[in-house]
Structures are given as C-alpha cells and as structure tokens.
Structure 1
Amino acid sequence: MGHPPLEFSDCYLDSPDFRERLKCYEQELERTNKFIKDVIKDGNALIGAMRSKWKVSISCFPQRVALALKLLHTAE
C-alpha cells in the first residue's frame, strides 16, 4: 500500500496536507500493530494447544509401548 511521502521540511510548516499524510501513516501503523498482536496471540494459542497434545501423547506413551509389547508376545 503506497502512501504519499513525508518530507522532513514539511513538518516545520505543519500544514493540513502534512497532517493528513501523517494520519495515513499512523492508521497504517495501527493496523500493522493490531495484525502483529493477533499473530502473536494466535501463535501463543497454537503453542499452548501443541503443548497440551504433547503432554497427552507423552503420558500415554508407556501404556502404548506396554500394549505393543503384550501384542508382540501373544503373537509369538
């Protein structure tokens, strides 16, 4: 998304045009900031879900190994 350039020399004049251009940049920064916060929130939720799945998988692992060994011994 393109914005009109901000000229350093225009900030001294503090014209309505400069303020309008500055407002465009501020709005874009707010949208970007919100997007980044949403990405972080979603990433943390994903990590939390993966951790809980991992804990369940690890807690069931010994029982699954024991069952597999039992099935191997009964097949012989």
Structure 2
Amino acid sequence: MTVRKTDLQVRGVPVALRERLRRRAASKGVSMSQYVIEILKDDLARPTLAEWFAEVGKLPPVDFGGKTSAELVREARREMRLDD
C-alpha cells in the first residue's frame, strides 16, 4: 500500500526554535522534516484533554468505600511504609 504524502509549510518559526529542531534532528540522525513528522505523529497519537475527559466520563464510577482521597493516600503510604 502506497502512503500518499503532501508538503506542509510553516511560516513564522522563530529562529531559536528552528535551531533547536535542527539540533534535535541531528542528534537523532534524521532530517528536520523526518523529526517534525515524528513529533506530529506522537502528538496526534495522544487524545486531547477534551477527548480524554470524554472517555473517562464514560467509565463507571469507582466505589472507594466512603473514604476520601486523602484517607486512601494515607493508607497507601502506611502500607508502603512511606509515612515516616
């Protein structure tokens, strides 16, 4: 299967940002174009905050046995012996 490609131009990139991109790409041994594509893919692979909240909102509520989050944290710390 052939992946269709197109060009994308970004205007107004601050010089310092372009240089950071160039250095990062060089440190990874890839072109700036390849590095920017990698960044875009990584970013778009994650849901937006709104999408994440929508997904979490679909989950059933969790019963914590009437305890507050602070009580649960204290219990967990005691169990892990982190309350010193």
Bigger radius of gyration among the two: 1
TM over 0.5: no
Query: TM range, normalised to the smaller chain?
Result: 0.3 to 0.5
Which structure is higher in helix share? Answer: 1
- With CA pairs under 8 Å and 6+ residues apart, which has the higher RCO, 1 or 2? 1
Q: TM-score by structure 2 length?
A: 0.31
